[in-house]
Structure 1
């Protein structure tokens, strides 16, 4: 068989095209475990608490490593400097999110946390930033925050057998009040709080890394719900209603109040005061409010519940925190935001709560929007980038005895790094826009808990102490696993002080 000049030229042209289209072979993906043909490392993906497995992989394969799942590279980062450089200093290159199939199937793709990097995402950020984008913008919400934190004490004393319920109810009440101007029912389970709790549990569940096969094999989403391998489809169907209700019902409440001319100074009301908004913009307003609401409620629940656990496991921390509050504030009033600068141990306590059991231990993955070369490694377009925040905050080379709860690590002339500076609230253009809301909500609830509550271990029927296990649930947003403890007012006088404070805050809007 002979070749003509044309054949040879065509062959050379084809080789050149392949050379240009294929990645430069001088560069390769970051190191990682060898996978199987086609499926890659699909069966290596952890089913629960993935951050612990990723931390072990990081020890073996390095601070930036990779695996492949059905052809999609997963870049796993175990070094905060690399995370800062890759995600914080590359503009919009890694600002996108991957398509979460379960979010698409349930409607949760409309929430800010999972929104693609597009015009809608930028609109959400703009709307949220307009109301709570700075520390100064939170000042107008201080009275609501203070009132609801006082109500937390009342709720926990009314039902001391279940402090977790009071914590959840308060977080929901606070964010409903701030977001929609809605005051919850105190004498019965509130329907709004119940709906958001259910929706947020489902949100965390559907975003669990590696939990659903449809995330690895997206074509499975076309299976009918009755198919034997389509449990995920049935789970998704359960989530659609709660997802819609969480956004629709409280937003409709605000619109109804404004139409009646009633006073409402909430986040959603501020956005709705523009009467010329289009239906498309209205949908953006609704989902920016829902995103604001969803993120704020879960953060507060997780951190306050962590404090109750820490107070049981480390009673000396509780004593030191109470001593500081008593010395600065006294016992004839409850602490307020005006006391914050005078309470350094409380600030250190909050930082340690963030570090000890981080709220989002694996962060929400980023997506590479185009091919990139980073430190000699090739990162293809559509790679998913996972940041192991849990490892950052439990690295023994940075935090002494990282499993030990110790607020004093953040005090003195050489404090350890603040968790907020190590990815706690995200990176780059995906930094949580509600970080200032989280800051004030968590601080005021923690300082009120320190001032008002005495926390001690529960006892079993044999009179033995029941100590909690310092571990969290699984999912994208985590909480301490359920535990028992004994809570009571620090004194009878405290109850009188609380009653007076609640009377003063009854008319807060």
Structure 2
């Protein structure tokens, strides 16, 4: 008994000495960026919102400045509300802030193997190298134009077949396009395709398990050791639900490609191009498999979000559709559908795509970076392991840079003094964490929007009293967002469009 009491007292003394040391050490350090005062031990944990965290961060930025900080259970959150500061800190400091935080839920579900959450290490660099070999430049994407064009035509076909649910056609097309590009897989058009269903489920889970502050294990990592039956261990039961889906979304389509190549069948996809390199060892194959899965995740989410945002935007602002169709009719005419060759001749549609990116940014808070060592920035101390958040949503809705930022207006990007493009405001990330698939996302979004302008008439649905229903321009929550569901009316623009589409699909049915 005496020995136990003595051990306990010794432990308390050691803890008190450690806390005193940390307190005195902290007093001698330069200040952190300013921010709201928090509670002892918990810091600002109770101030963190449960949803749409970028809005709270924007409020804090207005109050505390363009670079500010909060403390969440001992971890400093550095919040950036100025795009120039974000570019200076995250884009020009090499590897200093290139790491990602450790998300225990991502580890428990297997998503730590995906590129977006990978730590800054050799595996991360290998992923980027593999993706860069195939789609790292605009020039690389040219060989995929036939697949992109075919799947964008299929988007119109899917909408025509189910005009009551354009959101479903958008999701199906995004999945079909990236599965085709990544694995050379053409989905089943009738019923539910198993690959698309698997990928949709995986992406929903990924967006959920990576939301900051939602799962207790991310705030208290030691909880990962508690058994699943423990009252506070809902996260473990959730992780058990997700891990099989995470494994399947990487394994199943990858095996499809390997089997095709083993049978000598033609496949010109991202994965097939790399698998044809017989020098790849087992470790490289694992990197290839997960780079392909990451490739799919990034491309599909972007296309779904932006194309569905287009449908919402023209319901709220019907004049946008009128102007875009007028430009397209003048340039392309009525005897064919638009193609990539028309892109440079369609400035309004180009501006329309930019405004879609700005209006509802796909990753509004970006994915947080992690400081890899103690550093100073503009007189402020940024400790090792701080999480750095670039509030892209605020950047793109700043009235100092964008006139009437809540209004959807593509013309802000036209004329002699265009407003800043979203791509230079962190839309695809910063520095060594810039999305390596951004050129894939760019061409996928553009061709789908161009086909939608050419082929669809989108209008407001009517309520039970015959009054038009104007959608609310709001998004879902999570790391990756998309417009909330809304009602609308979607019809083929003309009988001629239907004929042109049938002709184009017959010509493109052998694209692989």
Which category of TM-score, normalised to the shorter sequence, fits these structures?
over 0.9
CA offsets, 1:50-96, max 9 Å, x none? 00000000011000000111111100000001000000110000000
Give me the TM-score of the superposition, normalised by structure 2.
Answer: 0.95
Shift in Å at residue 467 of structure 1?
A: 1.5
Q: Which residue of 1 aligns with 2:375?
A: 372
Given candidates 157, 179, 184, the residue that maps to 1:181 is 184
Q: Which residue of 2 aligns with 1:422?
A: 425
Is 1:90 matched up with 2:97? no
Given candidates 477, 486, 489, the residue that maps to 2:489 is 486
Shift in Å at residue 462 of structure 1?
A: 2.1
Given candidates 115, 138, 143, the residue that maps to 2:141 is 138
SS in 1 for 2:476: coil
Is 1:28 matched up with 2:31? yes
Does the 8 A contact of 1:42 with 1:216 survive in 2? no
Moved over 2 A (4+): 21-26
Q: Which residue of 2 aligns with 1:405?
A: 408
Given candidates 314, 322, 325, the residue that maps to 1:322 is 325
Shift in Å at residue 100 of structure 1?
A: 0.7
Equivalent-residue separation in structure 2 for 1:295 and 1:363 (angstroms): 13
Given candidates 462, 473, 479, the residue that maps to 2:476 is 473
Q: How many residues are aligned here? A: 492
Equivalent-residue separation in structure 1 for 2:149 and 2:138 (angstroms): 16
Equivalent-residue separation in structure 2 for 1:27 and 1:80 (angstroms): 24
Equivalent-residue separation in structure 2 for 1:144 and 1:24 (angstroms): 60
Given candidates 492, 502, 505, the residue that maps to 2:505 is 502
Equivalent-residue separation in structure 2 for 1:324 and 1:361 (angstroms): 30
- Structure 2, unpaired ranges of 5+: 1-16
Is 1:263 matched up with 2:263? no
- Structure 1, unpaired ranges of 5+: 1-13
Shift in Å at residue 237 of structure 1?
A: 1.1
Is 1:79 matched up with 2:86? no
CA offsets, 1:353-372, max 9 Å, x none? 00000000000000000000
Q: Which residue of 2 aligns with 1:39?
A: 42
SS in 2 for 1:146: helix
Q: Which residue of 1 aligns with 2:338?
A: 335
Alignment root-mean-square deviation, CA: 1.3
Shift in Å at residue 24 of structure 1?
A: 7.8
Equivalent-residue separation in structure 2 for 1:229 and 1:169 (angstroms): 37
Given candidates 451, 455, 463, the residue that maps to 1:460 is 463
Give me the TM-score of the superposition, normalised by structure 1.
Answer: 0.95
Q: Which residue of 1 aligns with 2:256?
A: 253
SS in 1 for 2:436: coil
Bigger CA drift: 275-284 or 129-138?
275-284
Q: Which residue of 2 aligns with 1:10?
A: none
Q: How does 1:1-16 map to 2 (within 5 A)?
A: none
Given candidates 153, 158, 161, the residue that maps to 1:155 is 158
Does the 8 A contact of 2:44 with 2:70 survive in 1? yes
Equivalent-residue separation in structure 2 for 1:76 and 1:454 (angstroms): 42
